Amino acid sequence: MRPSPHRAPGLLLVLLALAAQAPAEKTPALWPWPSSVKVSPKLLNIAAENFLIVHGPNSTAGPSCPLLQEAFRRYYNYIFGFHKRLHGPANFQDGAQLDQLQVSITLQSQCDFFPTLSSDESYSLLVQEPVAFLKANRVWGALRGLETFSQLVYQDSYGAFTINESSITDLPRFAHRGILIDTSRHYLPMKTIFKTLDAMAFNKFNVLHWHVVDDQSFPYQSTAFPELSNKGSYSLSHVYTPSDVHMVLEYARLRGIRVIPEFDTPGHTQSWGKGQKNLLTPCYSERKQIEKVGPINPTLNTTYTFFKTFFKEISSVFPDEYIHLGGDEVDFECWSSNPKIQNFMKKKGFGNDFTKLESFYIKKILDIIKSLKKGSIVWQEVFDDKVELQPDTVVEVWKGENYLEELREVTSSGYKAILSAPWYLDIISYGQDWRQYYIVDPLNFQGSEKKKQQLVIGGEACLWGEFVDATNLIPRLWPRASAVGERLWSPATVTDLDNAYSRLVTHRCRMVSRGIAAQPLFTGHCDREHKMEE
Ligand SMILES: *[C@@H]1O[C@H](CO)[C@@H](O)[C@H](O)[C@H]1NC(C)=O
Ligand SMILES: *[C@@H]1O[C@H](CO)[C@@H](O)[C@H](O)[C@H]1NC(C)=O
Ligand SMILES: *[C@@H]1O[C@H](CO)[C@@H](O)[C@H](O)[C@H]1NC(C)=O
């Protein structure tokens, strides 16, 4: 039998001394940090073969809630699965024990629903001998609380699982906490997307912004327009079939993650032109010859009949209430080279102002999305170019240094905003760039507190795919994106970089032990039990 610290006070002192030397190994490294945490020095043992995660007796989500059943199984495995195989079953039974985690949902359950922007993710967690209680209004909060509970459990130096008695209440600071993946520059296999969703759940992200298609390839297999991916994908094996998409949606839903598809137009659309005739604008050379194609052709009625059908499909395939419409970086040169477009401009009285043509186009697309009862998200150019937006259109701020000023303008015009400008994770440099993501405060601009709270709905870490595919996506994203995850979840007052560093080192090793190939933060090593499976 292994010695028990609770039976041997002398040994306890030794352990405390060890704890003081290596705090990261001895204290729970919660990430992101909850809004209120109270940890007591009382330690409880947890034995894998005795411990149960169960529905609380008063829960409105009983055993017929598959979403929670799945989550209980998953989190049991995160806590014990790997270690059990490494150490064999524990036979360490002395001292105070934790036998159960009872999970209760107090409002009517949402087991079959998809999460939304207004999903309640709050929870409270009370860990005490012999039963811990996790309470949430909705299943979404229960998912977040299970993650936190799993992060409280750690192995002591004898390999026994322990947890401090503690009390936590928690809720996110921002409702929209996203990761952008780009499946056009490089196709990402399903396995990579699933791993990304796993890691997102470990960091309490709740939006997968799926930049599905772009100039380079069109991997989305449309049922209405199959030629788009037949001709526009890199190859017929580089497509997402309807069943692939369905699997991503379900995998995400079970982790409380929304999937927002982006179909970026009118620019960034070269790949669309391969499978759909007359959609793109012919660009003319100086010698008045058609030499290539440019953005979507906004002057043809067929363009809009196409998009009506296309977005009707998208709005039924993707359950989320929002569709991202892109709208960034439109090439006006091609439009201005085309005599038919010039004529159209004249007829409409747009003069030489191509932002007016852009507005004309985007407004029609926004109307289509509205008629499908969906909300729209656009990149900031659409706002900058003074396109007439719907009152509920969300503007994603992505450009350069002046993003706080842009946030001020967007919100003072009454629009909702998402921030991604400081979080372009595709841009890499030597050293700990997570720190620069961490110190951002999205609300650090002039404006009424009320407006800020209402209108800045969150942010996104973006990993554009020019130099990223299945070989390097996970290590490039994690743990760098974790910094953004904590910024978007934790209270604004959680800003201590040293404290964050020591928690993040452990959190990164925890991700590694859960099969996420998160790259190191700096020199050092993970504990034995935190090594990568495989
Ligand atoms: C957990 O309990 C141990 C043992 O009493 C104590 O050393 C440690 O500081 C506690 N952790 C926290 C975060 O308070
Ligand atoms: C369940 O509800 C009963 C009656 O309202 C209450 O006495 C009990 O404390 C509740 N149990 C839990 C675990 O919340
Ligand atoms: C395009 O639609 C507009 C408005 O419905 C209509 O006035 C115009 O004649 C149509 N153009 C063509 C070429 O069909």
Are the C-beta atoms of 465 and 182 separated by less than 8 Å? Answer: yes
Provide the pairing of β-strand 131-136 with 416-419.
Answer: unpaired
Distance 407 CA to ligand 1 centre (A): 42
- Whether residue 41 has its Cβ less than 6 Å from ligand 1: yes
Distance 229 CA to ligand 1 centre (A): 56
Provide the pairing of β-strand 131-136 with 100-105.
Answer: parallel
Alpha-carbon distances of 47 from 210, 387, 506, rounded to whole Å? 40, 60, 22
Q: Tokens at residue 472, please?
A: 């390097």
Are the C-beta atoms of 5 and 12 separated by less than 8 Å? Answer: yes
Are the C-beta atoms of 504 and 483 separated by less than 8 Å? Answer: yes
Point out the catalytic residue in the list 49, 250, 291, 329.
329
Which stretches does DSSP call E strand in 1-64? Answer: 36-46, 52-55
> What is the Cα–Cα distance from 61 to 436, expressed in whole angstroms?
41
Q: Point out the ligand 2 atom lying closest to the alpha carbon of residue 56.
A: 13
Q: Tokens at residue 18, please?
A: 């060890």
Nearest Cα neighbor of 254 from 194, 185, 313, 325 is 194
- Whether residue 443 has its Cβ less than 6 Å from ligand 1: no
The position carrying tokens 């009983």 is 62
pLDDT at position 155 is 85
Q: Give the residue whose CA is nearest to atom 7 of ligand 2.
A: 58
Q: Tokens at residue 33, please?
A: 């940090």
Q: Point out the ligand 2 atom lying closest to the alpha carbon of residue 58.
A: 1
Distance 304 CA to ligand 3 centre (A): 11
> What is the Cα–Cα distance from 253 to 371, expressed in whole angstroms?
25
> What is the Cα–Cα distance from 158 to 239, expressed in whole angstroms?
49
Respond yes or no: is residue 329 known to be catalytic: yes
Distance 39 CA to ligand 1 centre (A): 7
- Please, how many CA atoms are within 13 Å of residue 484, restricted to the half-sphere of its CB? 30
Question: Which three-class secondary structure state does DSSP give residue 388?
Answer: coil
> What is the Cα–Cα distance from 62 to 85, expressed in whole angstroms?
30
Q: Tokens at residue 94, please?
A: 């002395």
Distance 59 CA to ligand 2 centre (A): 10
> What is the Cα–Cα distance from 104 to 60, expressed in whole angstroms?
7
pLDDT at position 27 is 62
Residue 205, C-beta contacts closer than 8 angstroms, at least 6 positions apart: 177, 178, 179, 257, 481, 485, 488
Q: Tokens at residue 263, please?
A: 């179909």
Q: Point out the ligand 1 atom lying closest to the alpha carbon of residue 28.
A: 13
Residue 353, C-beta contacts closer than 8 angstroms, at least 6 positions apart: none
Closest ligand (CA of 167) = 1
Q: Give the residue whose CA is nearest to atom 3 of ligand 2.
A: 58
Residue to substitute in 43, 154, 161, 165 for testing ligand 1 pocket (most ligand atoms within 8 angstroms of CB) = 43
Q: Point out the ligand 1 atom lying closest to the alpha carbon of residue 164.
A: 1
CA 48-51-57 angle, 5° bins = 160
Q: Point out the ligand 2 atom lying closest to the alpha carbon of residue 135.
A: 14
Q: Tokens at residue 42, please?
A: 């009382």
Question: Which three-class secondary structure state does DSSP give residue 228?
Answer: helix
Which stretches does DSSP call E strand in 416-519? Answer: 416-419, 456-463
Q: Report the chain (534 residues): mean pLDDT per 10 consecutive residues.
A: 34 36 58 97 92 94 92 95 52 77 94 97 98 98 98 87 96 98 98 98 98 98 98 98 98 98 97 97 91 96 98 98 96 96 97 95 97 98 94 96 96 98 97 97 95 97 98 98 98 97 96 96 83 51
Distance 163 CA to ligand 1 centre (A): 9
- Whether residue 39 has its Cβ less than 6 Å from ligand 1: yes
Q: Give the residue whose CA is nearest to atom 10 of ligand 1.
A: 41
Question: Which three-class secondary structure state does DSSP give residue 280?
Answer: strand
pLDDT at position 26 is 53
Alpha-carbon distances of 293 from 165, 281, 310, 338, 502, rounded to whole Å? 64, 5, 21, 10, 52
Distance 106 CA to ligand 2 centre (A): 11
> What is the Cα–Cα distance from 245 to 247, expressed in whole angstroms?
5
Distance 385 CA to ligand 3 centre (A): 26
Q: Give the residue whose CA is nearest to atom 6 of ligand 1.
A: 41
Residue to substitute in 13, 14, 39 for testing ligand 1 pocket (most ligand atoms within 8 angstroms of CB) = 39
Question: Which three-class secondary structure state does DSSP give residue 133?
Answer: strand
Q: Give the residue whose CA is nearest to atom 8 of ligand 2.
A: 58
Are the C-beta atoms of 303 and 330 separated by less than 8 Å? Answer: no
DSSP state of 35: S
Provide the pairing of β-strand 258-262 with 280-284.
Answer: unpaired
The torsion of the CA quartet 58, 61, 62, 65, rounded to 10 degrees, works out to: -170
Q: Give the residue whose CA is nearest to atom 11 of ligand 1.
A: 27
The torsion of the CA quartet 335, 336, 342, 347, rounded to 10 degrees, works out to: 80
289 exposed, middle or buried (CB, 10 Å; 0-12, 13-18, 19+)?
exposed
Residue to substitute in 58, 102, 103, 105 for testing ligand 2 pocket (most ligand atoms within 8 angstroms of CB) = 58
pLDDT at position 11 is 36
> What is the Cα–Cα distance from 432 to 408, expressed in whole angstroms?
29
Q: Give the residue whose CA is nearest to atom 1 of ligand 1.
A: 41
> What is the Cα–Cα distance from 437 to 487, expressed in whole angstroms?
8
The position carrying tokens 């029609």 is 364
Q: Tokens at residue 498, please?
A: 């040293």
Q: Point out the ligand 1 atom lying closest to the alpha carbon of residue 39.
A: 14
Q: Give the residue whose CA is nearest to atom 4 of ligand 1.
A: 41
Question: Which three-class secondary structure state does DSSP give residue 410?
Answer: helix
Nearest Cα neighbor of 189 from 516, 478, 471 is 471
